[in-house]
Structure 1
Amino acid sequence: MTTLILLFIVGIILLAAEVIVPGAVLGTLGALAMLAGCVIAFWQHGPMGGGVAVAVALFLVGLMLAIEFLILPRTRWGRRFFLHKSIDSRSQPPVADAAAITRRTGETLTTLAPTGYVLVEGRRYEATSRSGLIEKGTPVAVIGTETFQLVVEKITGDNPPPAASSTRPPVTPGLPADNDLNKPVDLLTAPVYLPPVPPAPPSSKH
Structure 2
Amino acid sequence: MTAFILLLIGFALIFLEFFLPGAVMGIIGGILVIASIAAFAAESTSVISIIVYVTAVFVGLVIIANLAIKRMQKTAPKQTICSDANQDGYVASSFDSKAIGKRGVVLSDLKPGGYILVEGEKFQALSVSGYMSKGAEVEVIAGQEESLIVKQVV
Q: Report the TM-score when normalising by structure 1.
A: 0.38
More strand, by proportion:
2
More helix, by proportion:
2
Q: Report the TM-score when normalising by structure 2.
A: 0.47
